[in-house]
Amino acid sequence: MFHKEGHKIIFITLVFVVGTFFLIDEFILNEWLRKGLMIAILVFFILILQFFRNPKRNTHSNSMQALSPVDGKVVVIEEVQENEVFKDKRIQVSVFMSPINVHVTRYPISGKVTFSKYHPGKFLVAWHPKASEENERTTVVVENENFGKVLYRQIAGALAKRIVNYAKVDGHVDQGTDSGFIKFGSRVDLFLPLDADIKVELNQKVRGGESIIAEIK
């Protein structure tokens, strides 16, 4: 199954691939070159398909847990000052997504959306220290009675040229359901309460909607 954000790109790419195949078959006489070009274009199409895949996840909803919003690798676990919304200290957990990861963003907790804002910006590499402050990004806060407020921030990377965010202020959302999409390489930062019990380690691979990032004490 493919994410709806990729339907248009997949269709355009398919038309390009089919048209290019016909041109190669018509005008490239060298058999090895013809086959090589066709294989390269086919691999490109397969990469596009895998990027926009939207696999079903088995989310076990739990109001005492925050789940990973995306697939990827944990690259940051530290106490930081969050200055956009909370203006106090939080535990930041960041997950980096490579181009081969699923890029669907999912709600880390169920609850009410209390904040949702888009910020235009640069396209520094996603692991750059300034990426969370200077890159194109969206900030969303979801709150429930048990876990409290969880802020997650979608951050565009060097290749990402569009962030999609479905979160609407005052809307009720369900843990593990689609909250958006980031096209082509990015990261997501989670800002959790200081008393949250972190359940992941640096460099650990996580799955969106399934891996437990933290539990409230």
Q: How far is CA 62 from CA 28, 109, 118, 194, 210, in A?
A: 58, 8, 28, 19, 11
pLDDT confidence of residue 215: 97
Quickly state the pLDDT bin for 164 (edges 50, 70, 90): confident
Q: Which residues contact 200 (CB under 8 A, 6 or more apart)?
A: 68, 74, 77, 93, 206, 211, 212, 213, 214
Average pLDDT over residues 97-110: 90
Q: Identify the CATH number of the domain defined by range 65-216.
A: 2.70.70
Give me the active site residues, please: 186
Average pLDDT over residues 137-166: 87
pLDDT digits (tens, 9 = 90+) for 71-84: 999 999 999 999 99
Quickly state the pLDDT bin for 170 (edges 50, 70, 90): very high
174 neighbors 57 (Cβ within 8 angstroms): no
More confident residue, 156 or 210: 210
Q: Say yes or no to pLDDT of 126 above 60.
A: no
Q: Say yes or no to pLDDT of 86 above 80.
A: yes
pLDDT confidence of residue 120: 86
Distance CA 196, CA 64 (A): 10
Residue with tokens 């565009």: 156
Residue type, 33: L
pLDDT digits (tens, 9 = 90+) for 191-201: 999 999 999 99
pTM for this one?
Answer: 0.83
Q: Say yes or no to pLDDT of 22 above 60.
A: yes
Quickly state the pLDDT bin for 185 (edges 50, 70, 90): low
Distance CA 106, CA 121 (A): 22
User: What are the residue boundaries of the structural domains of the chain, listed by start?
Assistant: 4-51, 65-216
Q: How many CB atoms lie within 10 A of CB 177?
A: 15
